[in-house]
Amino acid sequence: MSENISPFAPDEFPTLPPLRGFTMATAEAGVKYRARTDLWVLRCDPGTQVAGVFTQNRCPGAPVDWSRKALRATSGGPRLVVVNSGTANVFSGQAGRDAVLETARGAAHAFGGSPDTVQIASTGVIGVALKAEKLVAQFSDMADRLAPDGWAAAARAIMTTDTFAKGTTQTAMIGDTRVTLNGIAKGSGMIAPDMATMLAYIATDAAIDAATLQSLLAEFTGPTFNSVTVDSDTSTSDTLLLLASGAAGNSDDDLTDFRRALHAVMFELSQQIVRDGEGISKLITIKVSGAVSDTSAHVIAKSVANSPLVKTAVAGEDANWGRIVMAVGKAGEPAERDALSIHIGPHLLATKGQPDPNYHEEMGATYMKQREIEFHIDLGLGDGAATVYASDLTHAYIDINADYRS
């Protein structure tokens, strides 16, 4: 864990209210960390609908393999979510698979439900098998302490290199029924989610079927979790779950306001992740317009967002738009040097293949001192647009990652 708190850390964790249909507990299982919680169990009442997306990394962890299957499994009992920090249980072979099974069985035994439906996630160092007995040893006591409150504690228990706990809440109306959505997440490094983020859990008391939940996740993941990047590295453990207990008892199926609220929760959690990007000193917003398609715009924005030379220039408060041109050009997407224009904040820097005559270096130098930097790149080719959010690349990133395991 880093000693330096992100400059974007909120003053305090928001108040996430208890949600009907969900109880939880955290514990100090001692997986790796000492003197802090590292285990969270969420118990979802019978009937809870679930949707999820997982990492597209070709070498996922045993928990991801298990949880993909668990998503489709059903039973009459409660559904459980078990998350530990300290080890990712990735590339841990048969021992890792055994640990997942043992965890699922232990959890179902203590909290009810079927092992097959237990959602398991582990986050931390790769290549070390989880010692499931450390988790299982806590379950009985945790079962006695299950409570509807505890979202802030949960957000803390799942942190690894995060410098602040991440959570948000929204309410929405479905017909005449007020429903609530709570979300927590963790993530700070190895962040370039691909169809999912590190770990994010969103729970609601709304009554919405699993298929609808899944399609909502698919729709909103692109512009939220898949539009932030810290270091271009895609985790082997990315997991995003959406759980709906149905306890609110809504019957109307007009999800207009719920969609707004869900998007807001997903956007806010993804923002908190990038704003806690390892070593971040400045947040970079890259808006691309005028591309031949939205997908093309997204690829170009990601190319700029992941360029080490762009990220170090921002860290150095250098309005080095030449590196932006380079990163646009290397993306491999349609781009024409002489049709391109680039704004940094309100300033038009470059247009028609050359620096704008009204731009002076002092404008950029002053603007770059801000903590939040926005680049707007217009390609002048079509209607495609995308926005990506990134952290900069600083000495602190190297400090964190050159000795993460030690």
Which residues are marked as active site?
197
Q: Binding site annotation covers 114?
A: no
Q: Binding site annotation covers 406?
A: yes
Minimum Å distance from CB 286 to its own copies?
15
Report yes or no: 205 and 247 within 8 Å, Cβ to Cβ: yes
Of the two residues 165 and 299, which places its CB atom closer to its own copies in the complex? Answer: 299
| Three-state secondary structure of 161-227 | CCCCCEEEEEEEEECCEEEEEEEEEECCCCCCCCCCCCEEEEEECCCCCHHHHHHHHHHHHCCCHHH
How many contiguous H segments (helices) and E segments (strands) does the chain have?
11, 16
Q: Binding site annotation covers 186?
A: yes
With CB under 8 A as the contact rule, the residue among 103, 170, 234, 250 that binds its own copies is: 234
Please tell me the distance from the alpha carbon of residue 190 to that of residue 404, in angstroms, as a whole number.
12
Give residue 108's Cα distance to chain centre: 27
Of the two residues 3 and 11, which places its CB atom closer to its own copies in the complex? Answer: 3
Which region among 51-59, 110-118, 163-171, 366-374 touches its own copies (by CB under 8 A)? 51-59
With CB under 8 A as the contact rule, the residue among 75, 177, 232, 293 that binds its own copies is: 232
Q: Does 402 bind its own copies (CB under 8 A)?
A: yes
Please tell me the distance from the alpha carbon of residue 117 to that of residue 123, in angstroms, as a whole number.
20
Give residue 390's Cα distance to chain centre: 13
Q: Does 382 bind its own copies (CB under 8 A)?
A: no
Q: Binding site annotation covers 278?
A: yes
Q: Does 1 bind its own copies (CB under 8 A)?
A: no
Tokens read off for 167? 């959570």
Q: Among residue numbers 317 through 376, which ones bind its own copies (CB under 8 A)? A: 318, 320-323, 325-338, 340, 350, 352-355
Q: Among residue numbers 56 through 95, which ones bind its own copies (CB under 8 A)? A: 56-60, 88, 90-95
Of the two residues 48 and 92, which places its CB atom closer to its own copies in the complex? Answer: 92
Tokens read off for 27? 């514990």
DSSP string for 246-285: -TT-------HHHHHHHHHHHHHHHHHHHHT-TT-S-EEE
Q: Binding site annotation covers 87?
A: no
Tokens read off for 399? 């400090």
Q: Does 251 bind its own copies (CB under 8 A)?
A: no
Which region among 140-148, 282-290, 302-310, 383-391 touches its own copies (by CB under 8 A)? 302-310
Tokens read off for 168? 């948000």
Q: Among residue numbers 154 through 213, which ones bind its own copies (CB under 8 A)? A: 189-190, 192, 194
Residues making up the annotated binding site for substrate are 160, 186, 197, 278, 401, 406
Known binding positions: 160, 186, 197, 278, 401, 406
